[in-house]
Chains A and B, each alone.
Chain A
């Protein structure tokens, strides 16, 4: 294991940012720490980097106990949400910083910086100041800077959080490709489940300072360990006694299937290729109960000839992921 976090606790006053967290992150993989804001994932990342210290527990990096090591001795690369570029240095100087600190010979520094700028497609900007770069370019520069010191692990704290949606998507694909090329153990923090699912080999879901679940994106999506994980990874609706994803609700226009629950379509919304319905169940399920959300494809909806006020019967699809609904939703 590349990074072993054992029984780490971190408190701010009475607030537990991390509550007895243990997690092992395998070498060479791209791992996402996923969770809502304020859940403790950034704190965990900063403790791994040595930028914060844990109140108790240990951190080992590649077998070395790093718990008491200052950040500059851990050989980690850290990429910050707001880039943390050195504003007074050119792009090349930024990337060279770690190498210069390590007293690397000048020619070697020059060669490495050239390579890295090539890697992040910033070669033509080498002599510019960071203020002349776009947000995405700055973050790529920050990544090159972190990679320059050949870190044992690369840590990214919400690396794309400050970028707009399109650039975000591009950089996300690019990070995945970069990781496939460079193979450095990488951990990144995100609150965007889509980002985590798309990029990561493994996802650690963290909420309220605790690890909720660890697994591959598929595992998490198909076998959520808790209500929270299920809800965080995608939309969830309640159908009678269970909670499930809106696209796992089967819609029929006649009461054919066993256990089908009748209801009335109260809203119908077409969004691109899909159709979203809200179905109000009958009085026997409690008046004023939340309507059920249903997502189906456009062609399917058309074939059922659905419109506002249509009477429908709902069942959970075969093989759908369901968790029992809690009493009060």
Chain B
């Protein structure tokens, strides 16, 4: 490896740390100061405020369901994309990345156009059968699924590709059927990738804002998630409340990436 000279090394180091510090570390740390400005007082208030508790509960419910759906879908589609050949595979493989690049606002609008009960493509009929998607939990789960869709796939596909299908073929030749091969060989090999995918999806799902804002209707105590509550609190000059809820969300999301970064090196040493 070609070494850079010491002054250049220091310059690069200072630039990198300085940029990340000013853009991320310092701003994020202000939230701790703001949230604990009154000690634990604000948190006591938050957890006794019915609206906040409902918003946090709803957020967890929506996120957990969306993550479970994306887990099953993500692992399944990863297996199909890596282990099988079929016409249209390349297109499908590119399209599953699409949600990464689509604006949450566009996601919300697109679901609204198809599933709203008034004039949506499917929504109108679904409404007649008594199924409401927009302005209900179902729509919020779908919006969350949409935005977090590629996360599991992007973790699992590289690992599946890397481990190859040798072990699976060996299992088949030893008499294991498809289900046994998946449960005993494939799943243990992709276990960590699945865990990362799930943790990251969870972080993304808990924090979803734009798409959920559009499809939920944002009704307090019913379809108002934690992120929507933060916006409302801030706009109604309840800064302390906004910072307290934000702190809870930020804490969980930072916890998620710390968990992933601690788990990850384990895999290398194995």
Mark A residues whose CB is within 8 Å of B.
49-51, 70-78, 80, 82-88, 97-98, 101-102, 131, 142, 145-146, 148-149
B188 touches A84 (CB 8 A): no
Chain B proximity of A23: nearest CB distance (Å):
20
Kindly identify, within residues 155 to 178 of chain B, every residue whose CB is under 8 Å from any CB belonging to chain A: 163, 166-167, 169-177
CA A101 – CA B184 in complex, angstroms? 10
B176 touches A86 (CB 8 A): no
In the bound complex, residues from chain A placing their C-beta under 8 Å from that of B170 are 78, 80, 84, 86, 142, 145
CA A85 – CA B185 in complex, angstroms? 10
Chain A proximity of B181: nearest CB distance (Å):
8
CA A86 – CA B174 in complex, angstroms? 12
A149 touches B174 (CB 8 A): yes
A101 touches B174 (CB 8 A): yes
In the bound complex, residues from chain A placing their C-beta under 8 Å from that of B167 are 84-87
CA A51 – CA B174 in complex, angstroms? 12
B173 touches A88 (CB 8 A): no
B166 touches A88 (CB 8 A): no
* A-B contact list, 12 entries, CB within 8 Å: A51-B169, A51-B172, A71-B169, A71-B172, A71-B173, A72-B172, A75-B175, A76-B173, A80-B169, A86-B167, A97-B176, A98-B176
In the bound complex, residues from chain B placing their C-beta under 8 Å from that of A87 are 163, 167, 189
Chain B proximity of A308: nearest CB distance (Å):
48
Tell me, yes or no, whether B270 is within 8 Å of chain A by CB: yes
Tell me, yes or no, whether B103 is within 8 Å of chain A by CB: no
Mark B residues whose CB is within 8 Å of A.
163, 166-167, 169-177, 180, 184-185, 188-189, 270
Q: Which residue of A lies closest to B174 (CB)?
A: A98
In the bound complex, residues from chain A placing their C-beta under 8 Å from that of B166 are 80, 82-84
In the bound complex, residues from chain A placing their C-beta under 8 Å from that of B270 are 131
In the bound complex, residues from chain B placing their C-beta under 8 Å from that of A148 are 174
Could you count the A-B residue pairs with CB atoms below 8 Å apart for me: how many are there? Answer: 66
In the bound complex, residues from chain B placing their C-beta under 8 Å from that of A72 are 172-177
Chain A proximity of B186: nearest CB distance (Å):
11
CA A82 – CA B176 in complex, angstroms? 20
If A101-B176, A102-B175 touch, does A86 touch B169 (CB 8 Å cutoff)?
Answer: no
CA A75 – CA B174 in complex, angstroms? 7
Q: Which residue of B lies closest to A72 (CB)?
A: B175
CA A69 – CA B227 in complex, angstroms? 55
In the bound complex, residues from chain A placing their C-beta under 8 Å from that of B175 are 72-73, 75, 98, 101-102, 149
Q: Which residue of A lies closest to B184 (CB)?
A: A97
B180 touches A51 (CB 8 A): no
Q: Which residue of A lies closest to B169 (CB)?
A: A51
If A82-B166, A87-B189, A88-B189 touch, does A49 touch B173 (CB 8 Å cutoff)?
Answer: yes
The contact of B173 among A51, A82, A86, by CB within 8 Å, is A51
CA A49 – CA B188 in complex, angstroms? 25
Chain B proximity of A174: nearest CB distance (Å):
21
CA A70 – CA B176 in complex, angstroms? 10
Q: Which residue of B lies closest to A73 (CB)?
A: B175
Q: Which residue of A lies closest to B177 (CB)?
A: A72
In the bound complex, residues from chain A placing their C-beta under 8 Å from that of B169 are 51, 71, 78, 80, 84
Across chains A and B, which 9 residue pairs bring their CB atoms closest together, nearest first?
A98-B174, A84-B166, A78-B173, A84-B170, A71-B172, A88-B188, A72-B175, A101-B175, A101-B176
In the bound complex, residues from chain A placing their C-beta under 8 Å from that of B171 are 86, 97, 101
* Known contacts A101-B174, A102-B175, then 10 further A-B pairs from the complex at CB < 8 Å, ordered by chain A residue: A71-B169, A71-B172, A72-B172, A80-B170, A86-B167, A86-B185, A87-B167, A88-B189, A97-B184, A98-B176
Chain A proximity of B156: nearest CB distance (Å):
16
In the bound complex, residues from chain B placing their C-beta under 8 Å from that of A101 are 171, 174-176, 180
CA A295 – CA B93 in complex, angstroms? 59
Q: Which residue of B lies closest to A155 (CB)?
A: B173
Q: Which residue of A lies closest to B191 (CB)?
A: A88
Q: Which residue of B lies closest to A102 (CB)?
A: B175
Chain B proximity of A154: nearest CB distance (Å):
11
Chain A proximity of B238: nearest CB distance (Å):
51
In the bound complex, residues from chain B placing their C-beta under 8 Å from that of A51 are 169, 172-173
In the bound complex, residues from chain B placing their C-beta under 8 Å from that of A149 are 174-175
B173 touches A146 (CB 8 A): yes
CA A148 – CA B170 in complex, angstroms? 13
Chain B proximity of A248: nearest CB distance (Å):
43
A77 touches B185 (CB 8 A): no
In the bound complex, residues from chain B placing their C-beta under 8 Å from that of A145 are 170, 174
> Could you say which of A77, A80, A88 has the most chain B C-beta atoms within 10 Å of its C-beta?
A88
CA A70 – CA B270 in complex, angstroms? 33
In the bound complex, residues from chain B placing their C-beta under 8 Å from that of A86 are 167, 170-171, 185
In the bound complex, residues from chain A placing their C-beta under 8 Å from that of B189 are 87-88
CA A80 – CA B164 in complex, angstroms? 13
Q: Which residue of B lies closest to A83 (CB)?
A: B166
Chain B proximity of A91: nearest CB distance (Å):
14
In the bound complex, residues from chain B placing their C-beta under 8 Å from that of A75 are 175
CA A321 – CA B185 in complex, angstroms? 52
> Could you say which of B173, B180, B184 has the most chain A C-beta atoms within 10 Å of its C-beta?
B173
CA A71 – CA B174 in complex, angstroms? 8
CA A145 – CA B169 in complex, angstroms? 13
CA A192 – CA B174 in complex, angstroms? 27
Q: Which residue of A lies closest to B180 (CB)?
A: A101
